[in-house]
Amino acid sequence: MTITVERDTGTGVAVVTLDRPARHNALTLAMARQLSDAWRGFRYEDDVRAIVVTGAGQRAFCTGVDRTSVAELPQPASPFTIDDPLLAIGPKSNDLWKPVIAAVEGMACGGAFYLLGEAEFLIAGEGAEFFDPHTTYGMVSAYESILMAQRMPYGEAARMALMGTAERISAERAHTIGLVSELTVRGGALAAARQAAATLAAYPTEAVQGTVRALWSAREPARSQALAHAPHLIALGNLPPERQAGLFTRRVKGEEAEVRIR
């Protein structure tokens, strides 16, 4: 299994872990399905009242989709629709309104934002860093940018999306701009997230879920309207797969320097 779920019936907290540390917890199609199934299953588990999502190991929370997993995924010809395997990996996309806290260590980039964008708040260890590689590889950052623009000041979200792999936002900077709500020592994010989730799980669950729903109702209209534009922006703006692959190959060979934004 590439997704593991740990349930603590004593506290009412479940921990969902992306468990592919050797591949920086990059998402496969199977993992996308497992995540969707997990979120939908939690709707019926009354003993689970709060959830933490994290990545195995210290090197990465998640580095987005595994390119080898989706390389052969066929796409519709219409620019008004796109077969995005990550659209349903988040809790809100699966109609789950129990609170979700993200515990981030190491890298979080690209497709990871589908999960981070649907968490209530983020807790990060000091070594965490955030970036969006899409433009570097000739791809439009649409869904990811929309989700992050609702969590970050516009200028910060725009810079991260446009600068691609040339820059990474440090955990300290992410905390300063409000993307991260709590900064811990390296390796301490999961413990802090568990503690916060246990607090939420101890409260009356109807009140907590109602508050989550109220918070999301404030952003949902703008989010839904923006996401409706994403498919044809991607279809029109993405380079052909073979040209993306060429850019990716050059990047792997280390032709670009990275700057860490502190």
Tokens 């703008």 appear where?
Answer: 222
Q: Is residue 81 part of a domain?
A: yes
**Burial letters 29-50, b for 16+ CB under 10 A, else e:** eebbebbbebbeebeeeeebbb
- Chain segment 115-165, per-residue pLDDT in tens: 999 999 999 999 999 999 999 999 999 999 999 999 999 999 999 999 999
Question: Within a 10 A sphere around the Cβ of 164, how many other Cβ atoms?
Answer: 22
Q: Is residue 214 part of a domain?
A: no
Does the pLDDT value for residue 64 go beyond 70?
yes
Does the pLDDT value for residue 102 go beyond 70?
yes
**Between 233 and 11, whose confidence is greater?**
11
Tokens 């929309």 appear where?
Answer: 146
CB contact at 8 A, 223 and 146: yes
- The reported pTM is 0.89
**Between 18 and 220, whose confidence is greater?**
18
What CATH number does the domain containing 45 carry?
3.90.226.10
Q: What is the mean pLDDT of residues 84-94?
A: 91
Look at residue 185 in the predicted model and tell me its pLDDT.
98
Q: Is residue 35 part of a domain?
A: yes
Cα 92 to chain centroid, rounded:
12
Look at residue 249 in the predicted model and tell me its pLDDT.
72
Q: Is residue 213 part of a domain?
A: no
Distance CA(177)–CA(170), nearest Å, equals 11
Q: What is the mean pLDDT of residues 65-91?
A: 73
Does the pLDDT value for residue 174 go beyond 70?
yes
Q: Is residue 168 part of a domain?
A: yes
Look at residue 211 in the predicted model and tell me its pLDDT.
97
Beta bridge partners of 104: 124
Q: Is residue 7 part of a domain?
A: yes
How many domains, in total, are found in the chain? 1
Q: Could you tell me the pLDDT band of residue 78, with boundaries at 50, 70 and 90?
A: low
**Between 44 and 256, whose confidence is greater?**
44
Q: Is residue 61 part of a domain?
A: yes
Range of the domain at 19: 3-208+220-261
Q: Could you tell me the pLDDT band of residue 188, with boundaries at 50, 70 and 90?
A: very high
Look at residue 187 in the predicted model and tell me its pLDDT.
97
What are the counts of helices (DSSP H) followed by strands (DSSP E) for the chain? 10, 11
Q: Is residue 215 part of a domain?
A: no
Q: What is the mean pLDDT of residues 175-184?
A: 98
